[in-house]
Structure 1
Amino acid sequence: MSGQAERSPWTTLGALCFGFFMLLADMTIVAVANPAIMAELHTGVSTVVWVTSAYLLAYAVPLLVTGRLGDQFGPKVIYLVGLVVFTLASLGCGLSSSITMLIVARAVQGIGAALMTPQTMAVITRIFPADKRGAAMGAWGSVAGVASLIGPIIGGVLVDGLGWKWIFLVNVPIGVLAFVLAVIYVPNLPTHRHRFDLPSVALSVGGMFLLAFGIQQGNTDDWSARIWLCVGAGVVLLAAFLAVQARDSGEPLVPLSLFRDRNFALSTLAMTAMGVATTAMMLPGYFYLESVRGMKPTAAATVWIVMAFLTALLSPVVGKLVDHVHPRVVPTVGFAGFAVGIAWFGLVLKPETPLWQLLLPLVCMGAANACVWSPLAAIATYGLPMHQAGVGAGVYNTARQVGLVLGSAGAGALLSARSAFNAALSQSMVLPSAVLIIGIAACLLLGHRTPAPSPAAPAQETADALG
């Protein structure tokens, strides 16, 4: 096999997606293992939720910085560093003998995931020409959409068959293989030297942490004054961060000029809404299947497989389509279809509903999912200059992660505020349906694609890297 064939963009994409799937699946894989973890480590619900929350927090907080690190030192280098951190932390999770040790190891896992995620999107932006990027993002989007749905299924099988520790230990051989594939098939792309403004880094990390922590812990602390103070402090720090970025005429950590690209700004807003809707729908959905229908974790997780299957099947097809139609068409259809599917799902969440009636809205949501993840990513990155690929990917993925945290917190708050549990599950579907209206509005405002400056640069960079 020639070096050119070995270094084809599609082979590179496959190597990146192998590791990317693992870290995204870990966002949801713990959901079905919580009862087993509680029993073995002798802890309660309010503590075990931090096994998931610690991962989400540590994942979301550094994303603005890790995208820039990829620009500075090369996306391959930072991806590999993140993969090593993630794999070693997975081993730590599997060897944990206390809930504290497990939570700490999960936080380290999240840091590894934060190092990896922006690099996958940045590499795609830099090695694929604009007319092929939609198809590439289609494959990437199918991984992103399916991993979060498949995670609980994998988790259920491992917990039922081998025990909860194996949902983490299985990452070790996968991580080693992902490392080898990345070393061989991911090219060393040109780097762009950046200045890191440490006060801005501190403001962004501090603000993101306080805001995300307050949202995650809000329900547990019954939205006490301490929680509101935490959230308020996070908002103040983030506002100060934006003010500093606006006045920075040199090289800000987050160039606000990114948002002058209309499609990047609108795609980022829409992806935040999608993140909210996804977790706000999944949380009550699992409660319904396990608590109302009495399903075991593995059985409950397999109900969602029809949604995951359709997303995986259709995402590459949709990715090719998005290169040939107006940017607003495909994601608008996707958001509208997802909103209809969630509302439909909420209407049939009753104890006596036949299972086949639950599957119909999941089919609708699976097809709609494929029209959102990859098209939005392709549209967001189309007009970005190559030297901003990393920071743009960091901002975009931060928006997605913030949406996931907000959706989880919002759904939890709605469930706890209703006394009739089954009715609360159905009514909680109003939140994701309503939030998706924001996504529909953003997609309707998307404009025609505007190529990035110096259109010859990406082709030359790709030829140099892959040749």
Structure 2
Amino acid sequence: MTELDSAATQSAGSTDDGTPLGLAALLAGTLLGTVSNNIVNVPLGAILDDFDAPLGNGVFVAVGFLVCFAAALPLAGWLGDRFGRRRVYCVSLVATAVCAVGAATAPSLPVLVAWRSVGGIAVAALSPPVMGLITWMFSGQRRGRALGAWASVNGVGQAIGPTVGGVLAGTWGWRWIFVPLVPVALAGLIGTLRHVPRYPGAAIPFDLPGAVSLTVGSALLMGGVAILPQPDLPWWVALACLAVSAAVLGWFVWHCLRAPHPFVDVRLAAESRFARSCLAAFAQMFCLGATLLAVPLYLVSGAVSVATAGLVLFALPATMALLAPFVGRWLDRLGPRRVLRTGLVLLIAAEGALVAAVWRPQPVLGVLVGVLLASGVGVALVQTPAATGATRSPAGASGTGLGLFNLVRFGGAAVGAAWVAVALEFSGFPTVFGVAAAMAALGLAGSFVGPDPV
């Protein structure tokens, strides 16, 4: 993000010698991170029953992971630039496997939340290195195809995570949902060591005040939303977290505008292409995070089995995975912003349809599957253009830039998941999806800002 960071990144060069096996090793980490994120969504009710905990406390099994994950992303990007992206990626794979074992053996809900939260930090070190290594290893049309594969695997992870979690929890119990994460991590580690070139680190300065303020401010923002429905905490605690978050993030911007080597060059981050890509990604992930958590809760509350809920939810991410390889081709033919806007319009319509669908206390599975299919199309049409716009912008040229983009992107998922608990505590399922539709509309409005192509 700074001139020195960019120089360091450029000094590493671009190998343009990425192989299918090298790409597969990196996509294993993408799959691992996505599945780690959403594998608890469907079994969450079973986890709450096992520990006899209310939703306000139990939602931190999902939200704690997302908050720590999203807040740590910019720092993970810097670590990749400083110590080598491949090295950081390998360490993250091992740490994620360890956290999966810890979560599977957790004796209490607080211990489970702790392991999930640490696991979120471990997984955070997967995303920026993966995007950076793909950009480094592939160029031209090969890069577009590689990013299309990355988007497809994101969809696959979204598809199999809730489904596998529901099936495993329904068959052997919720603890088994974490077991498949270990072999995926080990396979990614072996493939990376064999087929991914070494990425040289660079001696770049570390802006400690900037890194701490961004991480803490982001965590307080997402955590403040998450603790609003907590039955054991007064409402003013959440508001205090949000107020402190605003102050810390404001100071972070002020500091980065004046520091000689800021952690994030906020001037580049404000560039229209990067900013609207971030806004669209936030809106898309807010809708995705809220939908993937709220729909199974709605189904289970309507006496639908956990396994069936996982299969119904499969429609959304499966559509994402199927369409992702084609979206990259449509970008060149139709234009990135046209594809992006089409996806956001579909998300608005799908979330609005979910508002109508969940008014009924008894779920109509066919209707829900149809709406989830439309939502999956919308997510697929937003995900690739937003990621492409971020990686093509000046801000996306360094690890901290990619980390900031992923912070915003997965921050959307964290806030969306936390919003589910807030809405269900004070209102109901229709409110969940009504606000998600409004968030998609905000992303659509942002896509009209600025003259540069996404």
Q: What TM-score, normalized to structure 2?
A: 0.90
2:371 paired with 1:361: yes
Structure 1 residues 203 and 448, CA, compared in 2 at 3 Å: closer, same or farther? Answer: closer
Once structures 1 and 2 are overlaid, which stretch shifts more, 69-78 or 304-313? 304-313
Which residue of the other structure, out of 169, 178, 201, is the alignment partner of 1:191? 201
For the 8 Å contact 1:138–1:375, the answer to whether it is kept is no
> Structure 1 stretches of 5 or more lacking a match?
1-5, 419-423, 451-467
For the 8 Å contact 2:226–2:421, the answer to whether it is kept is no
C-alpha deviation, 1:229, in angstroms: 1.1
2:233 paired with 1:242: no
Structure 1 residues 70 and 275, CA, compared in 2 at 3 Å: closer, same or farther? Answer: same
2:421 paired with 1:409: no
CA distance in 1, matches of 2:364, 2:47: 32
Which one-letter code corresponds to 1:170 in the other structure? Answer: P
Structure 1 residues 187 and 340, CA, compared in 2 at 3 Å: closer, same or farther? Answer: same
Structure 1 residues 288 and 27, CA, compared in 2 at 3 Å: closer, same or farther? Answer: same
- Which digits, 9 at most, give the CA deviation of each residue in 1:232-255, with x for residues without a partner? 11111111111100111x321111
2:429 paired with 1:425: yes
For the 8 Å contact 1:134–1:375, the answer to whether it is kept is no
What residue in structure 2 maps to residue 228 of structure 1? 239
C-alpha deviation, 1:228, in angstroms: 1.0
C-alpha deviation, 1:183, in angstroms: 1.1
SS in 2 for 1:26: helix
SS in 2 for 1:32: coil
For the 8 Å contact 2:288–2:379, the answer to whether it is kept is no
2:177 paired with 1:177: no
What residue in structure 1 maps to residue 104 of structure 2? 94
What residue in structure 2 maps to residue 458 of structure 1? none
2:354 paired with 1:310: no
What residue in structure 2 maps to residue 343 of structure 1? 352
CA distance in 2, matches of 1:413, 1:111: 24
What residue in structure 1 maps to residue 143 of structure 2? 133
- Which digits, 9 at most, give the CA deviation of each residue in 1:170-228, with x for residues without a partner? 22222111110111122213434311011222222221222222111111157611221
C-alpha deviation, 1:355, in angstroms: 2.7
CA distance in 2, matches of 1:409, 1:48: 11
Which one-letter code corresponds to 1:243 in the other structure? Answer: W
Structure-to-structure mapping, 1:64-463, within 5 angstroms: 64-221=74-231, 224-248=235-259, 250-292=260-302, 294-349=303-358, 350-351=360-361, 354-384=364-394, 388-418=397-427, 424-445=428-449, 447-449=451-453
What residue in structure 1 maps to residue 42 of structure 2? 32
C-alpha deviation, 1:154, in angstroms: 0.8
Once structures 1 and 2 are overlaid, which stretch shifts more, 397-406 or 360-369? 360-369
For the 8 Å contact 2:67–2:411, the answer to whether it is kept is no
Which one-letter code corresponds to 1:226 in the other structure? Answer: V
CA distance in 2, matches of 1:161, 1:195: 51
C-alpha deviation, 1:447, in angstroms: 4.2
For the 8 Å contact 1:284–1:425, the answer to whether it is kept is yes
Structure 1 residues 133 and 445, CA, compared in 2 at 3 Å: closer, same or farther? Answer: farther
C-alpha deviation, 1:351, in angstroms: 4.2
Which one-letter code corresponds to 1:233 in the other structure? Answer: V
Q: RMSD across aligned C-alpha pairs, in angstroms?
A: 2.3
2:86 paired with 1:60: no
For the 8 Å contact 1:74–1:188, the answer to whether it is kept is yes
For the 8 Å contact 1:311–1:366, the answer to whether it is kept is yes
Structure 1 residues 99 and 178, CA, compared in 2 at 3 Å: closer, same or farther? Answer: same
Which one-letter code corresponds to 1:426 in the other structure? Answer: P
C-alpha deviation, 1:398, in angstroms: 0.2
Q: What TM-score, normalized to structure 1?
A: 0.87
C-alpha deviation, 1:303, in angstroms: 0.7
Which residue of the other structure, out of 25, 33, 49, is the alignment partner of 2:59? 49
Once structures 1 and 2 are overlaid, which stretch shifts more, 30-39 or 357-366? 30-39
CA distance in 2, matches of 1:281, 1:385: 30
C-alpha deviation, 1:41, in angstroms: 4.1
For the 8 Å contact 2:86–2:196, the answer to whether it is kept is yes
Which one-letter code corresponds to 1:322 in the other structure? Answer: L
For the 8 Å contact 2:337–2:453, the answer to whether it is kept is no
What residue in structure 1 maps to residue 21 of structure 2? 11
Structure 1 residues 207 and 325, CA, compared in 2 at 3 Å: closer, same or farther? Answer: same
CA distance in 2, matches of 1:396, 1:215: 20
Alignment length (residue pairs)? 437
> Structure 2 stretches of 5 or more lacking a match?
1-15
C-alpha deviation, 1:130, in angstroms: 4.0
CA distance in 2, matches of 1:341, 1:440: 14
C-alpha deviation, 1:385, in angstroms: 7.4
Structure 1 residues 39 and 426, CA, compared in 2 at 3 Å: closer, same or farther? Answer: closer
CA distance in 2, matches of 1:266, 1:201: 23
- Which digits, 9 at most, give the CA deviation of each residue in 1:54-104, with x for residues without a partner? 211221221111111111111111111111111111111122223332222
CA distance in 1, matches of 2:171, 2:61: 21
